[in-house]
Homo-oligomer: A and B are copies of this chain.
Amino acid sequence: MSPARFDNRPIGVFDSGIGGLTVAAALRRALPNEDIFYLGDTERVPYGNKSPESIIRFARQDVAFLMRKGVKTVVAACNTVSSVAMEALHKSYPGLPILGVIEAGVDAALAAEAERITVIGTRATVNSDSYRRALHAVNPGLIVETLACPLLVPLAEEGVCDDPVTFHVFDLYLSELRRNPSDILVLGCTHYPVFRKALEHYFGGGLRIIDSANACAEMVKKYLAENSFGASPRKKGISRFFMTDLPSNIQESAGRFLGEEAGRVEKVSLDV
């Protein structure tokens, strides 16, 4: 085997803030040899309650930053961006492979051979109708419901993941689904894996939960293998974390999504 078959450039991962760290953590587990450069646009977080026009502009700036850092591929670790901005990103950066989380979640949901699928996400993700369109493109007979849960992102950011407040917020959005559960619940927001246990408790095992972070990591792994794009197996991958703002509680919050200490976080500007 020739060493030319390896590509040791980093994988770029970005999100509106720190929610995408659940994807970075899944990538780290799945791809121990890869360098991972993570960008969180914490200065403008959240994206999910903003207009498609603004989300597309922000996402272009995020990708441009990662390209300047020399990445070989970019993962949009944000369902809002993946729902609203992928077409615009592919047009703006035609030479760069950009992968989104929606595709991964959709593939995992389809693999489960369910009849009725519920997707929860931000208002922008649900308004975009991206999950329903992607699922129906493969199987038009599926029953697909999408529910916007805009308070779950702030709850996750504040670490209120298993409190009476958490369950009352579930009641706001999901009480009807609990009475009449579908086969599968897709967590259509990279913040939501922190609620997995609480959601399992809330639904009492009545439906299967699919987490797009793990599905996304598997998709990236497969993509790198198929395109001979992976790092050398003799290399130990490092992670770097870039954020556009460093509020006082950033280390604590980042650690919650990453599942371990984030280490050094570098403050960066997206201005060229």
Contact = CB atoms under 8 A, between A and B. Distances in A.
Number of copies of this chain that the complex holds: 2
A150 interface: yes
B50 A247 contact: yes
B49 A157 contact: yes
Given A127-B248, A155-B151, A54 B43 contact: yes
A160 interface: yes
Interface string A138-167: 000000000000110111011010011100
A171 interface: yes
A248 B151 contact: no
Contact of A151 (B54, B127, B154): B154
Interface string A114-152: 000000000110010000000000000000000000110
A127 B247 CA distance: 11
A172 B154 contact: no
A181 to B, nearest CB: 22
Contacts of A53: 245
A248 B54 CA distance: 12
Given A163-B172, A165-B165, A245 B51 contact: yes
A96 interface: no
A42 interface: yes
Interface in A98-128: 123-124, 127
A248 B123 contact: yes
Given A42-B50, A51-B248, A127-B248, 4 more contacts: A43-B44, A43-B50, A164-B168, A165-B168
- Return the 6 tightest CB-CB contacts between A and B, nearest first: A154-B154, A165-B168, A54-B245, A51-B247, A164-B168, A168-B168
Interface of A: 42-44, 49-51, 53-54, 123-124, 127, 150-151, 153-155, 157-158, 160, 163-165, 168-169, 171-172, 245-249
